[in-house]
Amino acid sequence: MSIKVINSGLMTTIQDKGRMGYQASGMQVSGDMDSYSASIANALVGNEDDAPLLECTYLGPELEASEDVLVAVTGGEPKVLVDNKPVHAYESLILHKGQHLKVASMDEGTRAYIAIDGGIDVPLVLGSHSTNLKLGIGGAEGSKLYNGEVLNTGRPTDLAKAIISGKSHIRHTDHGYMAHHHLWQESNHGDSHEIRIVLGPQDDYFTPEAVKSLDGAVYTISNESDRMGYRLEGDIIQRATQRDMITDGIVFGSIQVPPNGQPIIMMADHQTTGGYPKIATVTSADLPLLAQCSPGSKITFKVISVEEAQDIYVQFRLAMKEQIALMDKDTEDAGWPDSRPGVRNYNLKIDGQLFQVSVEEVK
């Protein structure tokens, strides 16, 4: 089974959960920028959580299926078309032989994820399928996708077989309610998104006033922002000492402050080490949200404690597991209230009690 890349889009790469285990050798982790949306896309087609999939930026690709295949698109609010007709994101779609899937643009957010059942079949390089553009390894020969390229897909999942043969309902999820719909709305403070941060490791390199005013500070994501880092524009962060820092380790979310005082947030393709002091670190639960913020948009920092951040992140991970478990349950359930075509059935958990809900579009 294979997928032909009719148009590669602006910047489409193959990613998974990243190349862990080689950072002591100076090798970047790479991997999904919005790990949450990637996981949901994979779950929608019955893939393993870390199956290789496509990450696209702004303008997604146009793909053609060589056989019937199950696909799903998530991340932000992508405009998805099958043979030029709009279809839903955040649900599994049968792409019949010869049909074209197109991720035309993003109504909101920056990055869309396209999962294909069985995952994209590319070689494992040092334990990961993620594309590392700098070293030219992983993904499809270490490069972003190009027009005309053919991508093989892995062994079809049981879910895909069941859905394609009509034995099972398509799978959908409550519109990416965490990273996107829910978090996006909840974090929206007028014209900016709230990004929670934890102070350190080098907050003592900055004046107490600078550290204090970081809480609530608004920054604009500049155009010089990519998978390596987001350069921010806003108030200059004042150093308390001109003492040089000795190079140390960096994580996804580290907020570096170079001598010009304008912070840079290190993203998925960041270097493993760096010599600029890091005033704070973005909380893990807010990284998917940050990955969806686009150049020109504003973010507001909110300082929380490391303990709070861990509570939030653990809840986030458990909620994601539950969201995926509910999808599994949707698929297993035989006696749906309404199985007419066009009707969607959800398992919905409200105050700990499970409800079955059928929704039909008003024509």
Partner 1 sequence: MEAMRILTVGDCAVSVEFGQEISLEINHKVMALKMVLEREPIRGIVELIPTYCSLLIQYDPMDLRYGQLRERLEALVTQLDEVEMPPKQVVEIPVAYGGEYGPDLVEVARAHNISEEEVIKLHSEPEYPIYMLGFVAGFPYLGGMNKAIATPRKQSPRLKIEAGSVGIAGEQTGIYSVESPGGWQIIGRTPLKLYDVNRNEPVLLKAGQYIKFKPITKEEFRAMENEHKGN
Q: Which residues are within 8 A (CB) of 10 and not within 5 positions of it... i.e. 6 or more apart? A: 56, 57, 58, 59
Q: Is 137 in the site for partner 1 (CB under 8 A)?
A: yes
273 binds partner 1 (CB under 8 A): yes
Which CB sits closer to partner 1, 307 or 332?
Answer: 307
Contacts of partner 1 in 176-205 (CB under 8 A): 198-202
Among 2, 4, 7, 22, binds partner 1 (CB under 8 A): 22
**Rg of the chain in Å (alpha carbons):** 21
Which two three-digit tokens encode residue 339? 């199985």
Helices and strands (DSSP H and E) totals, the chain: 6, 23
Q: Which stretch binds partner 1 (CB under 8 A): 79-87, 145-153, 187-195, 307-315?
A: 307-315
Q: Which stretch binds partner 1 (CB under 8 A): 37-45, 210-218, 272-280, 328-336?
A: 272-280
Return the closest-CA partner of residue 165 out of 204, 202, 117: 117
Q: Is 127 in the site for partner 1 (CB under 8 A)?
A: no
Strands 248-249 and 254-256, how do they pair? unpaired
For 311, phi then psi, to 5°, come to: -60, -45
Region binding partner 1 by CB under 8 A among candidate stretches 18-26, 144-152, 162-170, 322-330: 18-26
- Give every CB contact of residue 92 below 8 A, 6+ residues apart in sequence: 44, 45, 70, 71, 72, 159, 163, 170, 171, 172
| Closest distance of CB 283 from partner 1, Å | 6
Answer yes or no whether residue 95 interacts with partner 1 by CB under 8 A. Answer: no
Which residue, chain included where needed, has tokens 């999820």?
Answer: 173
State the binding string over 222-251 for partner 1 (x if CB under 8 A, else -). Answer: ------------------------xxxxxx
**Residue 241 burial (C-beta neighbours within 10 Å; 0-12, 13-18, 19+):** exposed
How many residues sit in the footprint of partner 1 (CB under 8 A)? 43
Q: How far is the CB of 230 from partner 1 (least distance, A)?
A: 15
Burial of 189 (0-12, 13-18, 19+ CB in 10 A): middle
Using CB under 8 A, pick the residue from 12, 281, 300, 323 that binds partner 1.
Answer: 281
Name the minimum Å distance from CB 282 to partner 1: 7
Site for partner 1, rule CB under 8 A: 20-28, 125-126, 134-135, 137, 198-202, 246-251, 253-254, 271-274, 278, 281-284, 306-307, 309-310, 313-314, 317
